[in-house]
Amino acid sequence: MIQRHHAALLEVRNLRVQLESRRVTLTAVDDISFDIAAGEILGVVGESGAGKSMTGSAIIGLLEPPGRITGGQILLNGRRIDNLSADEKRRIRGREISAIFQDPLTSLDPLYSVGRQLCETIQTHLGFTSAQARRRAIELLSATGIPGADVRVDHFPHQFSGGMRQRAVIALAMAGQPKLIIADEPTSALDVSIQAQIITLLKRLCREHGTAILLITHDMGVIAEAADRVAVMYAGRLVELGPVRDVVRQPQHPYTQGLMASVPSLVGERDGLKQIDGSMPGLDAIPSGCPFHPRCGRAVAVCRQHRPGLLAAGPAAAACWLHEPKLAAAFAAPSRGAGPVA
Amino acid sequence: MSTRPEHPENSADTPVTSSSGEVSRLPRDPLVRAEAISKVFDVSAPWLNRMIERRPRQLLRAVDSVSLDIGVGETLGLVGESGCGKSTVGRLLVELEQPSEGRISFPGEAYAENRPGNTHRARGRLQMIFQNPYASLNPRWKAFDIVGEPIRVHRLIEDPGLIRKRVVALLEGVGLSAADADKYPHQFSGGQRQRVSIARALASEPTLLVCDEPTSALDVSAQAQVLNLLRRVQREHELTCLFISHDLAVVRHVSDRVGVMYLGRIVELASVRQLFASPRHPYTRMLLDAVPDLEMRGVPRTGVPGEVPDPLATPGGCAFHPRCPYANLRCRSEKPALLPLQVVGKEMVASAASVACHAVHERRIG
């Protein structure tokens, strides 16, 4: 369990990421704040275009132009890292923060053996001799569950299976002994049985090394299994943040409720998935007020005009006016909840 | 809606999926029957390389003697991990591939139409919905042209005004509007594109619809919309469906029966209720255990170690034996056949599960 009184390892304060072009400025990440404690797994969940990956890229300093941080701060161990020079950022990357991406083939160079790529990272960040680095590379590969690591270390990425490649990528991410790993859809390209193995591995590494993980995924099942806390994003904003158990079992934001209900389950009712009608707005057409209001069955006048901040909602926090006690009267009228559609 | 005539001999006792979505337990007449079909792909290196390196031809058995029936109006789900051959089975059924061995027949139809490579596909009776709605729609065509093409190709309607009316009706049937007919694919979201794919598939009034991972590229909320739509469309048009997916929860949601595939073979085939309530094959159990379920939080996944072996070097005997905790000598040497657990009469009973596992049939596991 996470001891929440620990000082935060990573603090994100009012982060805003915008994409500027000659004609328009689009806001991809809009005023989001959260923190991650050492050894914690924070899940970030949302649909494509919600701004999850942008948030991850902003933290690790790999935003692609025209994306740019235009507001807020990112602090690692109390030190600002969002305004560092490219050179300073490069020194942090791999050493303090590293990343795992969805497709392991794009993270590995096909022309070098896996061991050589590991050794390069180890020598760059830890200053080992090449013999030490090789020994460490083999240790890392066997720690990530690759059988016969002393032989596999000289193999090339194409000689690894999908699951083994992702293990090698995890070994690569761990090589610099970082404090934080940004894992962007680490299991989405894998089969379900391999997915289970990779999640177990990530959780074990997190526990053993005290590494924090920002786990970005669209899969609520992965979040429910791996994360300690979860942040739900919608149209660039944080709509709900809380302990995973509470958010999964009793979501407080109408969007999270709809999202949870639309996940097909292996148990229970089989007839007609609950669905949220419509789709997430594009960045160029984000509605005023609460961005979810056009799809929300409980929206009232205030939702259309004023944007809600994160409000306490039980053990979690939700950006929804439903949780503002002063507005209780406005929501008292019978609502037209989203029913099952067959 | 459908102008297609009923199969005379089927209409009397064809069970119709009830409004609750539960499978009727009456046996259905099969619409399509696959008898021991196999598909072998030649994945050899080019001739010169083979000569220089003295390597033999390499053959990949993607589908290995699969037999199945899909009843009229039934949805058969097919699940398995990548490379297990589930998509190839789908492509064989819609005649995008020809089987290397075995045969596929449509027992309800006249003999002349049963010749291989015959007019089923040409007449649009077999339709397929693909995984990637970005790749399966022509980016230079408007939705009207995409949905209208099968109507024009099969000359279902000749009058241009009536074609337009029919396309609009089809688009409205999948939850789009008449105005969407003049949009290009890039103007739609992923979920909307998949709706266009569904409308296109319905345009030629198919009898068999093969859905190959139709929601894998979609977000969960769009997935829920498309799954609900597919179920509704299937009921309204009395379609027979093969639904291919790697996602057990999705398959559970849309199917009447489910087949589980592993390395080209069906290892378990059972009604959806039976498969999820009491899975019998060790691989099915492993797959079900591996699914992260929102309700099962705190229960550690009993992940079976190992991965799907290289399909070019499948293990002898039961292909699953290297990963199976119940494997014994027989499993290593003898391929288990897909046998029903209890044979109830001669007819295929919807509730009878078939399993290809020595351990289950020897009652070594319950």
Q: What is the DSSP string of B53-83?
A: HT----EEEEEEEEEEEEETT-EEEEE--TT
B 86-115 residues inside an 8 A Cβ radius of A: none
In chain A, where are the structural domains located?
Answer: 1-96+178-264, 107-176
The continuous run of DSSP H or E covering B38 comes out as strand B30-42
- Nearest CA to B268 out of B278, B256, B258, B277 is that of B258
Q: Is A215 in the B-facing interface, judged by CB distances under 8 Å?
A: no
CB-based contact, B294 to chain A, within 8 Å: yes
B303 interaction partners in chain A (CB closer than 8 Å): 193, 196-197, 200
Per-residue pLDDT reduced to its tens digit, A20-51: 888 889 999 999 999 999 999 999 999 888 99
A129 touches chain B (CB under 8 A): no
Residue B207 DSSP code: S
With 90 as the cut, is the pLDDT of residue A196 above it? no
User: Inter-chain contact B246–A245, Cβ cutoff 8 Å?
Assistant: no
Q: Return d(Cα B182, Cα B163) in angstroms, integer.
A: 14
Class of domain A1-96+178-264: alpha beta
Answer whether B77 touches A (CB < 8 Å). Answer: no
pLDDT at A187 over 60: yes
- Burial (CB < 10 A; 0-12, 13-18, 19+), residue B48, is exposed
**pLDDT at site A157:** 93
Q: Touching check for B312 and chain A: CB below 8 Å?
A: no
Neighbours of B95 (CB within 10 A): 17
Side chain identity, residue A188: S
Distance CA A159, CA A164 (A): 9
**pLDDT at residue A17, rounded to an integer:** 95
Q: Are strands A311-313 and A237-243 parallel, antiparallel or unpaired?
A: unpaired
| CB–CB contact B225 A275 (8 Å) | yes
**CB of B324 within 8 A of CB of B283?**
yes
Hey, is A8 helix, strand or coil?
strand
**What is the maximal distance between C-alpha atoms in chain A?**
72
pLDDT at B1 over 90: no
On whether the CB atoms of residues A67 and A276 are closer than 8 A, the answer is no
Chain A: residue whose CA lies nearest to B191: A279
Chain B residue with the nearest C-alpha to that of A191: B81
A100 near A181, Cβ under 8 Å?
Answer: yes
Judge residue B322's burial from the number of C-beta atoms within 10 Å of its C-beta, 0-12 exposed, 13-18 middle, 19 or more buried: middle
Average pLDDT over residues B69-97: 91
pLDDT tens profile B131-147: 888 889 999 999 999 99
Interface check for A270 against chain B (CB to CB < 8 A): the answer is: yes
Measured between alpha carbons, how far is B282 from B361 in angstroms, rounded to an integer? 12
Q: Does A195 touch chain B (CB under 8 A)?
A: yes
**Smallest Cα distance from B113 to chain A, Å:** 35
B292–A245 C-beta distance less than 8 A? no
Sheet of B339-340, strand order = B126-129, B208-212, B240-245, B75-79, B257-262, B265-271, B354-355, B339-340
Question: What is the rounded distance in angstroms from the CA atom of residue A295 to the CA atom of residue B328?
Answer: 56
Q: Tell me if residue A206 falls in helix, strand or coil.
A: helix
- Which chain B residue has the Cα nearest residue A244? B297
Q: Name the average pLDDT for chain B.
A: 83
A246 close contact with B: CB closer than 8 A = no
Q: B265 in helix, strand or coil?
A: strand
CA A94 to chain centroid, in Å, comes to 18
Q: What percent of chain B is helix, strand and coil (3-state, nearest 5)?
A: 35, 20, 45
Contact B304/A193, CB-based, under 8 Å? yes
Which of B19, B193, B294 should one mutate to test binding to chain A, selecting the residue with the greatest count of A CBs within 10 A? B294
The pLDDT of residue B2 is: 41
pLDDT, tens digit, 9 for 90 and up, residues A129-176:
999 999 999 999 998 888 889 999 999 999 988 888 999 999 999 999
- Assess A47–B contact: CB distance below 8 Å, yes or no: yes
Nearest CA in chain A to B289: A193
**In the predicted model, is pLDDT for residue A219 greater than 60?**
yes
Nearest chain B Cα to A341, which residue?
B228
With contact defined as beta carbons under 8 Å apart, do B35 and B67 qualify? yes
pLDDT tens string B222-279 = 899 999 999 999 999 889 999 999 999 999 999 999 999 999 999 999 999 999 988 9
Q: Are B230 and B237 in contact (CB under 8 A)?
A: no
pTM of the model: 0.83
Q: What is the pLDDT of residues B10-48, one digit of tens each?
A: 333 334 343 344 444 445 788 899 999 999 998 888 888
**CB within 8 Å of B71: residues ≥ 6 apart:** B14, B15, B27, B28, B29, B30, B31, B240, B350
**Cα(A63)–Cα(A51) distance, integer angstroms:** 12
Distance to chain B for A122, nearest Cα, Å: 28
Q: Do A342 and B228 touch (CB under 8 A)?
A: yes
B306, B307, B309, B315 alpha-carbon torsion, rounded to 10°: 40
Average pLDDT estimate for A224-233: 93
Does residue B134 sit at the A interface (CB-CB below 8 Å)?
Answer: no
